[in-house]
A = this chain, B = another copy of it.
Amino acid sequence: MDMQATLVRSEDNESLVNRLRQDPGAMLQRYQVVRAFTEELCSPLATEDYVVQTMQDVSPTKWHLAHTTWFFETFVLSKFDSSYEPFHPRYAYLFNSYYVQAGERHCRDKRGYLSRPTVEEVYRYREYVDDRMKSFLQRIGSSEWQEAAPVIEIGLHHEQQHQELILTDIKHVLSVNPLRPVYRERAVEPPSVSIPLDWVPFEAGLYDIGHDEEGFAYDNEGPRHKYWVDNFLLANRLVTNGEFMEFIRDGGYERPELWLSMGWATVEEKKWKEPFYWEPSRNEGDYVLFTLSGERAVDPNEPVCHVSYYEADAYARWAGARLPTEQEWEVAAQQIAIDGNFVEDGHFHPVPADPSRSATLHQMYGDVWEWTRSQYSPYPRYKPVEGALGEYNGKFMCNQFVLRGGSCATSRTHIRPTYRNFFPPESCWQFTGIRLARDV
């Protein structure tokens, strides 16, 4: 699967956005590319793989396929296309996720109970909506376009988020199966290399943080505002599996003084002894890990992945360092091109930092989402969008931590320096990792 060819790579996100906003035809083309990529990601799956929900956080693949379609049906076609007839009267109920202002919805933790609609019916639903979107965009007038374009734009970013979730969720589904099915064989084995850990200094100052409204951003990335940041050091690369194994060997999972109180309670309750998807191998002290290409030995040079905030925080404390704040991360990222190991690269797993790349900061984008020490809060003067779409971000600003930079399951065109992802501190089924920071 040469995914790189599928999506635009050469254009930067800001100019892409500007072009799309001015041209319904370009938007349609973009729509078709993004929607097709979702289906391309599903191509390795058996029908049965689309159905299963292995924990509450995980949704069945067919739900993702339908929910992203429901988004365009509900927020675009039903709003702006007066001739539109819904594909099925109950789908609005089945495939709403959490938009309370968009009506009642089926229980999240029971998505795996639904054998119908079948996968084939869901694909027909996609086809139906895609056809309607096409004819809608081909005949759209300019005043409708002003209103609809930003919603379609959100819909495409929403679809890209669910592309990432399809991968992380199907990884979980396959992982709990004793047969250990493979999503896709590893095409090329990246060399296992390493670069030394180094600390990059940043100067104190009153920085501008948040999105400047050029190009696309979610509402939670703004408004741009002043924020004082002290002098700090940021690690030049991600924490590796090898380093994390040192932490384990040093009793990291047995020493409560390294952990937040709730983190330690979680370690004890869930009996955590190593990162998620790791298992001790038959050789004492070694580990194997489950990937979308199957099970293999832990490579000490790869970034550690699938760690919770609690583990990231405990590791940092053990290492005599700390996690960066989201503002520190953004200050550093503002100076860096958006490049890295993304979903289009087809690894579906983080890879070691490349010593041949002459960069000050490695792996800032792609590979793994980087936990920050910042709890997810509104920026000053933050105002959610009006209506159901305003539920996208703001109502989750509680008991979650911010992650930055995207992962190997993120689309290159989906990430930005100001992008704020967020998960509860115990979450580890996403591709999440660690970059250290220190006070000067």
Contact = CB atoms under 8 A, between A and B. Distances in A.
Contact of A380 (B116, B230, B377, B396): B230
Contact of A377 (B46, B115, B374): B374
A112 interface: yes
A381 interface: yes
Contact of A425 (B206, B373, B399): B399
Contacts of A374: 377
Contacts of A378: 373
Contact of A260 (B46, B181, B395): B395
Most buried by B among A49, A176, A179, A377: A179
Interface in A359-416: 373-378, 380-381, 391, 395-399
4 closest cross-chain pairs (CB), A and B = A375-B375, A48-B115, A100-B256, A49-B115
Contact of A118 (B48, B100, B101, B395): B48
Nearest to A49: B115
Interface stretch (A90-98, A269-277, A337-345): A90-98
Nearest to A119: B48
A376 B401 CA distance: 12
A122 to B, nearest CB: 10
A381 to B, nearest CB: 5
A115 B52 contact: yes
Contact of A90 (B48, B179, B227, B256): B179
A197 interface: no
Contacts of A179: 90, 94, 114, 116-117
13 contacts: A46-B118, A47-B48, A48-B48, A48-B50, A48-B116, A49-B115, A52-B115, A90-B178, A94-B178, A225-B228, A264-B395, A398-B425, A399-B399
**Chain copies in the assembly?**
4
Nearest to A390: B257
Contact of A228 (B174, B177, B226, B425): B226
A113 B228 contact: no
Nearest to A172: B113
Interface string A245-274: 000000000001101111110000000000
Interface in A44-59: 46-52, 54
A439 interface: yes
A376 B177 CA distance: 36
Interface in A81-131: 90, 93-94, 98, 100-101, 106, 110, 112-119
A14 to B, nearest CB: 27
Nearest to A47: B47
A219 B52 CA distance: 38
A50 B46 CA distance: 13
